[in-house]
C-alpha cells in the first residue's frame, strides 16, 4: 500500500493494489478508471462515513472499495459509475466494517461545523436557532433504523434516484419507496414543529 498505515492493509491482499486490468482492450483510454470512477470518490466517502459512523473506517472502506472497483471495472456498463461505485462502497462497509443493519450499533458522528452566519442579514439568534434545528435533525436521523437511514441519506444527501437506490441497496424499487416513506413518516413525528414536513405527516 502506498498510503499511510491503515488497517485496510491487513484486509486487502498484498497484490491487490492496482489489480491488473481485465480485458484491457475493452478499456478505451477515454473511458479510464480515473475519469469514470474518481469523480464519485467523495460521494463514496460520504456514504461510507454515514454507514460506518467514523472517518477512519470510512477512509479505509473507500480505499478497499477502490481496489475492488479496479478489479471489477470491466463489469461496469455505461458511463454513470456513481451507483455502481456506491454499491461497492456499501458492500465493503457491510462485509468488512461491521455495519450491522439489524442492530443499531453505529450512530451518526458528524463533524460539527462551527456556528457561522450564512449571510449578512442573519443575526446570531437565527444562526443559533439554525444550529439547534440541525442538532435536532441529526438526532432524529440517528434514531432511524439503519436501512431507513441509509435510504434517506442516499435520497436526500446524495440525490440518488429511486432506481439508483434500489441498485445500491440491492432491494426492489418498491421496497426503496416504502423505506423512504417510512423514514419520512418517522422524521415527521420526531421533528414535529421543527421542520416543515409538507404533506408527509
Partner 1 sequence: MSDDTTGRPDLSTALREALPAYEAPAALSAWATEQARRYDMEAHDASTTAPARKHVRTLSRARWQIAAALVCAAALGWAGATLRGVTHNGSAESQTPALSSIHIFARYCQGTSSTFNPAIAIPSNRGSRDA
Question: Minimum distance from CB of 167 to partner 1 (Å)?
Answer: 20
Q: Using alpha carbons, select from 50, 49, 33, 19 the residue that is nearest to residue 84.
A: 33
Q: Which of residues 12, 51, 62, 93 is near partner 1 by CB under 8 A?
A: 62
Min dist. Cβ of residue 173 to partner 1 (A): 20
Q: Judged by CB under 8 A, does residue 145 bind partner 1?
A: no
Q: CA angle, 156 as apex, 152 and 158 as ends, to 5°?
A: 105
Nearest distance, CB of residue 27 and partner 1, angstroms: 4
Q: Are 190 and 143 in contact (CB under 8 A)?
A: yes
Q: Which CB sits closer to partner 1, 11 or 134?
A: 134
Alpha carbon dihedral 153, 154, 155, 161, in 10-degree steps, equals 180
Sign, Cα dihedral of 30, 33, 34, 35: positive
Least separation, in Å, of the C-beta of 172 and partner 1?
24
As a whole number of angstroms, the distance between CA 155 and CA 176 comes to: 10
Does the footprint of partner 1 cover residue 128 (CB under 8 A)? no
- Separation CA 180–CA 186 (nearest Å): 10
In the window 16-55, what residues touch partner 1 (CB under 8 A)? 17-21, 24-25, 27-29, 32-34, 37-38, 41-46, 49-50, 55
Q: Is 4 in the site for partner 1 (CB under 8 A)?
A: yes
Torsion angle of C-alpha atoms 158, 78, 96, 147, degrees rounded to 10: 40
Q: 150 and 51 in contact (C-beta within 8 Å)?
A: yes
In this complex, which beta carbon is closest to partner 1, that of residue 172 or of residue 194? 194
The residue within the footprint of partner 1, chosen from 110, 115, 117, 189 (CB under 8 A), is: 110
Place of cell 462497509: 93
- The footprint of partner 1 (CB under 8 A) covers 2-4, 17-21, 24-25, 27-29, 32-34, 37-38, 41-46, 49-50, 55, 58-59, 62-63, 66-67, 70, 73, 108, 110-111, 113, 130, 133-135, 137-138, 141, 152-153, 156-158, 184, 187-188, 191, 193-198, 200
Amino acid at each position: 500500500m502506498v498510503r499511510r498505515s491503515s488497517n485496510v492493509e491487513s484486509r486487502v491482499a498484498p497484490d491487490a493494489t492496482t489489480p491488473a486490468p481485465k480485458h484491457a482492450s475493452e478499456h478505451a483510454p477515454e473511458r479510464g478508471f480515473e475519469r469514470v470512477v474518481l469523480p464519485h470518490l467523495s460521494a463514496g466517502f460520504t456514504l461510507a462515513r454515514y454507514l460506518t459512523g467514523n472517518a477512519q473506517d470510512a477512509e479505509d472502506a473507500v480505499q478497499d472499495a477502490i481496489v475492488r472497483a479496479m478489479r471489477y471495472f470491466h463489469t461496469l456498463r455505461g458511463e454513470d459509475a456513481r451507483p455502481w461505485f456506491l454499491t461497492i462502497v456499501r458492500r465493503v462497509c457491510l462485509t468488512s466494517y461491521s455495519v450491522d443493519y439489524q442492530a443499531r450499533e453505529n450512530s451518526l458522528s458528524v463533524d460539527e461545523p462551527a456556528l457561522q452566519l450564512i449571510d449578512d442579514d442573519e443575526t446570531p439568534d437565527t444562526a443559533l436557532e439554525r444550529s439547534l434545528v440541525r442538532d435536532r435533525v441529526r438526532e432524529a436521523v440517528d434514531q432511524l433504523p439503519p436501512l431507513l437511514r441509509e435510504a434517506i441519506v442516499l435520497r436526500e444527501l446524495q440525490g440518488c434516484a429511486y432506481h439508483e437506490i434500489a441498485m445500491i441497496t440491492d432491494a426492489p424499487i418498491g421496497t426503496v419507496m416504502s423505506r423512504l416513506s417510512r423514514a419520512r413518516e418517522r422524521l415527521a413525528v420526531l421533528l414535529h414543529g421543527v421542520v416543515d414536513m409538507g404533506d408527509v405527516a
